Structure 1
Amino acid sequence: MKIFWISTVFSLLFFSSYSQNHQLSGTVTSEKGEPLEGAYIAINENYIWTSGAGRYSTTLETGDYNIKVTTLGYQEQDTVISIARDRQVNFVLKASVDDLGEVLVKGRQHQQSTQQKLRVEREYLEQEFKGSLASSLEKLPGFNAMQIGAGASKPIIRGLGLNRVAVAENGIKQEGQQWGADHGLEIDALQVEDLEIIKGVGAIAYGSDALGGVVQINNNRVPVQEGLSGSIYGVGQSVNNSLGTSARLTFKDEHWFAKGKFTGISYGDYNLPTDQISYLNFNIPVFDHSLKNTAGKEVDWSSQLGFITKNFNSSLTVSRVYQKSGFFPGSHGVPDIARVQRDGDPRNIDLPFQRVAHFKVLSNSTFFLEEGRLELGLSYQDNHRQEWSLFHTHYAGQEPPEVDPNLELDFSLKTYSIKSTYHRAFGQQHKTQLGIDLQWKDNRIKGFNFLLPEYSSGNYGLFAIHEYQPSSSDLWSLGLRFDYGNFEMSGFYDPKLFEYLIENGQNQNTASNYAQRSRNLERDFSSFNLRLGYSHHFNEYWQGRANIGTAFRLPTAIELGANGIHHGSFRHERGEPGLEPEKGIMADLSISYAKETWNVTISPYAYYFTNYIFLKPTGIFSLLPHSGQLYQYTASEALLSGIELQLEKTFASHFRLNVAGEYLYNQQLTSSASRNFPLPFTPANNLFIEAGYSVLNDKVFISNSEVTVNTRLVMNQDRIAQGEDTTPGYQILGLGWHGEFQLGSFEAAVNLRVDNLLNTRFFNHTSFYRRLQIPEPGRNIQLNIKIPFGNTRL
């Protein structure tokens, strides 16, 4: 019997050595230990993806396996692993050349991608925070911010802004009143975990509004460490006496994680490097160099609950962003010196002001299937934006509303979205994405003024993106998308305006046309588009990318149906119900060089539009009282082109140099060459240069310490659209220092920065206040401190 059992055991061992399957598992993380969700792992001819916690697991027979690990924004790892037992292998990926950490450019680009993409991490945003998300990204090539005072801004990519740049959170497009140049993004800039700026073929997955590109925000990261962790971030600015704090708390165990975030910011009237502005032939004093009623506040919160397993992960996010900010009194109505007198409280938010509350519920789930993965995103958004101004009437006998008499404009936009994408790899050469993108919007209005009618719309898209890699040096990508949209707008008739015009001598036909502020409208739109991309590694150091394709954008409600005085833009704006979708052809090229201490990228691009939609002065004075010239939404052939430069050089490991530049050229193309004006809201050509030098890093308690000096050079903007003013060029200087402290278990990251060091008086051509001849804020000293706790480390 003893011999029998010994024989049996040896037989089982012998059998299992040939037939037993073994488990290979582990994690894929960044160099900072952050899990990389959706990383692609090729094991010979099989393919798997990491879960939300960066984990992977598969069963393999005994043998040797070639394993490649890749994900967007990181360098590929290629290795051979022998399997004779259960093994755990963890992969740590290095950031690629397009990542932005503490410096502008970091690492090398070895990963094949046809997209032009920049990846920005949370640490960079915290260090570069300038009061709003778009302003914090202005160091990037081809990226500008449309400023709205000192506390809000909107992104401009390649000279395209407003409804031509899509902003998405966890894959779902953010929806508000994007058409407005007088308010910013409803995004908590201090709680963005990381983001990507996407250009090229990949932007086709986001459909209309992504002509310039996509600002893709990822707030769905699984915490790295198990247990309780978090951080507290504080910021102070001198230019507007801003004080803010942002706190983050996370918890994670094996299968569950939870996050709680809070941000509160309060700021006062911001300082100007001037004591007088001139607008509409009025000389308006700026008392104590402080622009009255530009104070504001922001209160944001977010909570997230997530579940992670080997084959499935899911998260539910609920958030609310609340912003309230004042308008300079001269920006609404006729300038009045009495209205700009100081009220003794620089933090007082008086009439006129705006406020917005953006409530959002996001559900994101990923199913890891045997041969691919399926991503599903669901969202509900409630964007409620208001403009408040002291009730005023241009008609005799008009009484203020009984409820909220000073509520001038009220837009309540509700958006429901579904987006689902299936990812599948076919061998080592082919990868495919198939997606469906559905959205439905409903906008209600209130207020004593009329600008935009009530409407509802639906946008329904199908898309496919395929990548083909015939060799290790070449990659092709093809993106296809079909969109169908329907739009329903409600009519609005203004009898008081009719009576006013008749009393002022207009005939009944003219008065009736003006009084019909909007008409019932039903429109259907459809569009099929494709984009082709190619990437080639010439050698270890040189890489090229090229993209070409069609571009489209569905007309918006403001472009189709606006008809009223928009005090925020200082004019009477009128839509055109017959506008067709914006269509055109887009092409870009990128050449990158990365060797040792050099990283250089040059990216020329061109867009041709058959019907670029923009707001154009008609040369006709509006009959609406106190309205000035009538501006009409119209379409024209147009050309937009430019070139972007990005350079980083490191000297002797202690000194670095960053350069980001942009040249833009665009114009309308009409039958009359003398009428070929440039397009509106075009940023001036600009160059940003920053030098950094590592200091004090030999001290025991200081690390990652660096002193920086920077300058921004902006050319004259004398190529202007109708109705715009030329803007002189300028140069501003800045200084900074950042570092990390550690004393025992206490850690802190500190950033001290001085912007506009010489208190230079300058104008931003795309600023909201440019029309009022109001310069940008003066010298600003800013201090940021971040303190982690629990299991969090800097």
Structure 2
Amino acid sequence: MVVDSLTLNPLSGVTILGEKGYAISDRNGQFNLQIKKTQVFQVSHIGYARFKVRVPHTQSTTLFIKLKPSSTELDEVSVHGKTKERTVRETATVSVSIDEEFLHANRENSLIQTLSKIPGVGSMTIGSGQSKPTIRGLGFNRVSVIQNGIKHEAQQWGSDHGLEIDQYGLEDIRIIKGPASLMYGSDAIAGVVDILPQKVPGKNSFGGDVNLLGETNNDLWAVSAGLQSRKDKWYYRTRLTYRDYADFRVPTDKINYENYIFDLHENHLRNTAGREANFSVSIGRVGENFKFETVVSNVNAKNGFFANAHGLEVRSSNIDYDNSNRDVDLPYHKVNHFKVTHNATMYLGNHKLQLDLGYQNNHREEHSEPVPHGYMPKPPNSRERIFTKNTYTVNAKSLFKKNGGHTISVGLNSEFQNNNIGGWGYLIPAYDRFTIGGYFFDHFELNKNLHLQGGLRYDFGMLKINEHYDWFQTPRDNGDGSTFDIFLQRATNSTLDFGSYSGSLGLSYISGNTTYKFNVGKSFRMLLAHELASDGVNYHMYRYERGSLTLNPESSYQMDVDVSHSGNGYSFGVSPFINFFDNYIYLNPTSDYVETLQVYEYTQAKVFRTGGEVNAGVDVTANLHIYASAEYVFSRQNSGPKEGFTIPFSPPLIGMLSAQYLLGDFGMFKELNLKADLRAAAAQNEIVPPENMTDGYQVVNLALLGTLNLFDEQLPALLKVKLNNIFNTEYYDHTSFYRLIDVPEAGRNLSVSLTINF
């Protein structure tokens, strides 16, 4: 058995390696060795000093190994480093590290819904299988999602577009709250969800896992299987995931949309079923002073949209939406996201060189029932919109330590996007976008516990918008009573360029078990094609959207403070922030109408924001732990047509109370934990017209987690039984896409998941 020498807690993932034998400890710190002669084994683990132990060749020998925490080794290369916890404490930015255990214990229908358990992180849900992240009330292209060092690029500008990332097989995620554009680029103006590369497998190892999941609310079943192996230097990984689900249920039998009442058959939100099939494969190599890995992945999904969300035409549709709760009828979308990433790192003493390359192809089709609108005749097919986006990314970074406590980081990020469009419905133009940015960052260790950080960045971007004409003719008045027909031009050929500086300065002070952080920074976000040149009907929102070429890039100024403390059996933290946008961009409703649809125009305003998060945890007894958190954001427009109002999708005051009790072992079930969560939100009366206010709500969830020995006592299976919304509460999440059309969140849901490791 392997334990921490200070806490005596079991250590999982410890490598015990000998000349002709090896083992890896399980989550209980246990391992099994079969040897034919006496050997010396080297015991190693990230964040701990290497340890050598002589194992005699006897019929049965029990080993009890204590590893001492150390900051002299990192991974399997000879480079000086620090433990993850210590590195986070020394960093001035407000960040949260998520590990594999948290992901398993809190896994929901999508990755972002899983991460929404973190204070300050929200999920903009679209149906039962899709969501996108928000950080402190900001989302869309203001939050960068990074995977394997490459920014995930899809059609994330749309409120009804989810995130095409398989949440299975992920190990470590870092969430940065607040501006992080210094190292991640201009789209990280609100924060970052950084999905870190998986750990390198141990030498001469082979293993994998099978995840099984079933849910009652939408009759979901899912399976995900992963495999990894390594000999000496080379290793590989692979994973397959499939999900299939029916229409999800809501705690109401009627929906009121545009003063029309829609009856729901057996509480099913019709046409929200879907399917998802994902795969990934990677190959890597570890040397004495380098490592690299190439990952190829593909996410393919087909999801239905709640039929009534596309306007009132569904009343006259011939589609029988209630015939089956598993079929996907019109309207629906299908998306395929293909991604290739290559990460290479070289260690040269105190110098670290890193190169990240990426290619992504995002193909998205949105299908709607072909019906005439205005002067547009009935389309020939259901392909309303087609987006094909190719993204090429090159990131280079050099990090080196200098005498005097300086750790210098210099980096370059570049990206090229080519986005083509198709279909009979126009909303955004085809475009090419090129961005490049460079930064200089210095982490200065004034002494062991006092750290100063600061850096500068410059970004340049160029956006080329392609012209677009309607495929049908529209009559126009000559002025003398006669008319003529023309193909209306929706977008003109335009080339725009943007450039700006960003910077930050922060301080981190560690005093025993207390950490103090202070950070100020300026960041900016480049304009996107839909903000500049959209000019069409968004049927998912049943409105007409129009961009403006006169908009300016967003600039944001923010100050963050973070104080955290961990004691013997308790912890607490507080993270307030102040934020100012001098030109925040959003869609503003106007008094104009096109084809009976209200026109929304992209506009800018000065916006002041403040808020933060608090959290506290305590071990009431040896078996009972209680955790509480709260988050709040206040926003106010200080200029523009909605001066005095908040901004769209502003979350209300939200609190979370969680209690976890260790039940112990019961027969074949081991380490059973019972967990209860109460999520409470205040009413959101601070809105910007035409948003509607939302009432407060309280939702209770229960979960039972544990292990059981199915095939291998050294690798027990992980079991989770979860009951969400146990009282089938009808409530509205103010940041939900469907909230805009009076659709409540999902009702009661029982889920059972089993993870079998081998």
Q: Render the CA deviation track for 1:324-368: whole Å, top value 9, x for unaligned.
A: 100111111325446585443211001110111000010100011
Query: Would you say 1:708 and 2:701 are equivalent positions?
Result: no
* Distance in 2 (alpha carbons) for counterparts of 1:583 and 1:76: 43
- In the TM superposition, what are the counterparts of 1:113-152 in structure 2 within 5 Å? 113-152=91-130
Query: Would you say 1:158 and 2:158 are equivalent positions?
Result: no
Q: 728-737 vs 389-398, which deviates more?
A: 389-398
Contact kept, 8 Å, 1:312 with 1:367, in 2: the verdict is: yes
Shift of 1:496: 3.1
* Distance in 2 (alpha carbons) for counterparts of 1:779 and 1:764: 15
Partner residue of 2:456?
480
Q: Render the CA deviation track for 1:109-158: whole Å, top value 9, x for unaligned.
A: 98422121111112322221211011011111101100101111110001
Partner residue of 1:470?
446
Q: 1:94 to 1:420 in 2, by over 3 A?
A: closer
Q: 1:307 to 1:225 in 2, by over 3 A?
A: closer
2:299 counterpart SS class? strand
* Unaligned runs of at least 5 residues, structure 2: 1-9, 16-43, 51-67
1:160 counterpart SS class? coil
- Choose which of 353, 358, 373 in structure 1 pairs with 2:332: 353
* Distance in 1 (alpha carbons) for counterparts of 2:686 and 2:480: 40
* Distance in 1 (alpha carbons) for counterparts of 2:242 and 2:414: 33
Shift of 1:559: 0.5
Amino acid at match of 1:776: E
Q: Render the CA deviation track for 1:345-394: whole Å, top value 9, x for unaligned.
A: 21100111011100001010001113301000001000111100121222
* Distance in 1 (alpha carbons) for counterparts of 2:481 and 2:168: 54
* Distance in 1 (alpha carbons) for counterparts of 2:727 and 2:480: 56
Amino acid at match of 1:593: H
Shift of 1:733: 0.7
Partner residue of 1:612?
584
Q: Render the CA deviation track for 1:572-599: whole Å, top value 9, x for unaligned.
A: 1111112111012111100111111111
Partner residue of 1:375?
354
Query: Would you say 1:639 and 2:618 are equivalent positions?
Result: no
* Unaligned runs of at least 5 residues, structure 1: 1-29, 36-51, 59-74, 81-87, 97-107, 790-794
Partner residue of 1:213?
191
Amino acid at match of 1:585: Y
Shift of 1:647: 1.7
Query: Would you say 1:756 and 2:749 are equivalent positions?
Result: no
TM-score (norm 2): 0.87
Partner residue of 1:742?
709
Q: 1:428 to 1:779 in 2, by over 3 A?
A: farther
Contact kept, 8 Å, 1:76 with 1:110, in 2: the verdict is: no
Shift of 1:395: 5.1
- In the TM superposition, what are the counterparts of 1:243-254 in structure 2 within 5 Å? 243-254=221-232
Query: Would you say 1:730 and 2:703 are equivalent positions?
Result: no
Shift of 1:613: 0.6
Q: 1:194 to 1:399 in 2, by over 3 A?
A: same
Contact kept, 8 Å, 1:201 with 1:533, in 2: the verdict is: no
* Distance in 2 (alpha carbons) for counterparts of 1:658 and 1:505: 74
* Distance in 2 (alpha carbons) for counterparts of 1:79 and 1:297: 47
Query: Would you say 1:267 and 2:245 are equivalent positions?
Result: yes
* Distance in 2 (alpha carbons) for counterparts of 1:126 and 1:689: 19
* Distance in 2 (alpha carbons) for counterparts of 1:484 and 1:386: 31
Q: 612-621 vs 255-264, which deviates more?
A: 612-621
Amino acid at match of 2:420: R
Contact kept, 8 Å, 1:237 with 1:243, in 2: the verdict is: yes
1:209 counterpart SS class? helix
- Choose which of 564, 568, 584 in structure 2 pairs with 1:592: 564
Q: Render the CA deviation track for 1:480-519: whole Å, top value 9, x for unaligned.
A: 11000000001112373532x559999989x98x932111
Partner residue of 1:765?
734
Amino acid at match of 1:689: L
Query: Would you say 1:392 and 2:359 are equivalent positions?
Result: no
Q: Render the CA deviation track for 1:224-248: whole Å, top value 9, x for unaligned.
A: 3633210000111111001001100
- In the TM superposition, what are the counterparts of 1:442-591 in structure 2 within 5 Å? 442-494=418-470, 496-499=472-475, 502=477, 515-537=488-510, 539-591=511-563
- Choose which of 4, 7, 13 in structure 2 pairs with 1:33: 13
* Distance in 1 (alpha carbons) for counterparts of 2:405 and 2:177: 23
Q: 1:388 to 1:367 in 2, by over 3 A?
A: same
Query: Would you say 1:192 and 2:170 are equivalent positions?
Result: yes
Partner residue of 1:8?
none
Q: 642-651 vs 416-425, which deviates more?
A: 642-651
Amino acid at match of 1:684: P
Shift of 1:317: 0.6
Partner residue of 1:694?
662
Contact kept, 8 Å, 2:635 with 2:646, in 1: the verdict is: yes
* Distance in 2 (alpha carbons) for counterparts of 1:253 and 1:769: 50
1:531 counterpart SS class? strand
- Choose which of 270, 278, 295 in structure 2 pairs with 1:317: 295
Shift of 1:464: 1.5
Aligned pairs, how many? 699
CA RMSD after TM alignment: 2.9
2:532 counterpart SS class? helix
Q: 1:131 to 1:474 in 2, by over 3 A?
A: same
* Distance in 2 (alpha carbons) for counterparts of 1:764 and 1:200: 22
Partner residue of 1:11?
none
TM-score (norm 1): 0.83
2:162 counterpart SS class? coil
Contact kept, 8 Å, 2:385 with 2:421, in 1: the verdict is: yes
Q: 1:109 to 1:367 in 2, by over 3 A?
A: closer
Partner residue of 2:32?
none
Q: 1:307 to 1:783 in 2, by over 3 A?
A: same
* Distance in 1 (alpha carbons) for counterparts of 2:331 and 2:693: 28
* Distance in 2 (alpha carbons) for counterparts of 1:399 and 1:345: 27
2:578 counterpart SS class? strand
Query: Would you say 1:365 and 2:344 are equivalent positions?
Result: yes
Partner residue of 1:101?
none
* Distance in 1 (alpha carbons) for counterparts of 2:411 and 2:639: 38
Contact kept, 8 Å, 1:201 with 1:477, in 2: the verdict is: no
* Distance in 2 (alpha carbons) for counterparts of 1:243 and 1:205: 39
Contact kept, 8 Å, 2:589 with 2:600, in 1: the verdict is: yes
Shift of 1:398: 3.4
* Distance in 2 (alpha carbons) for counterparts of 1:602 and 1:681: 24
Contact kept, 8 Å, 1:220 with 1:315, in 2: the verdict is: no
Shift of 1:524: 0.6
Q: 1:542 to 1:141 in 2, by over 3 A?
A: same
Query: Would you say 1:783 and 2:752 are equivalent positions?
Result: yes
1:322 counterpart SS class? strand
Q: Render the CA deviation track for 1:193-246: whole Å, top value 9, x for unaligned.
A: 221102357552111111221100123421236332100001111110010011
* Distance in 2 (alpha carbons) for counterparts of 1:229 and 1:727: 48
* Distance in 1 (alpha carbons) for counterparts of 2:268 and 2:303: 15
Contact kept, 8 Å, 2:723 with 2:749, in 1: the verdict is: yes
* Distance in 2 (alpha carbons) for counterparts of 1:640 and 1:316: 41
Q: 1:325 to 1:151 in 2, by over 3 A?
A: same
* Distance in 1 (alpha carbons) for counterparts of 2:401 and 2:82: 21
* Distance in 2 (alpha carbons) for counterparts of 1:599 and 1:719: 32
Shift of 1:653: 1.9
Partner residue of 1:45?
none
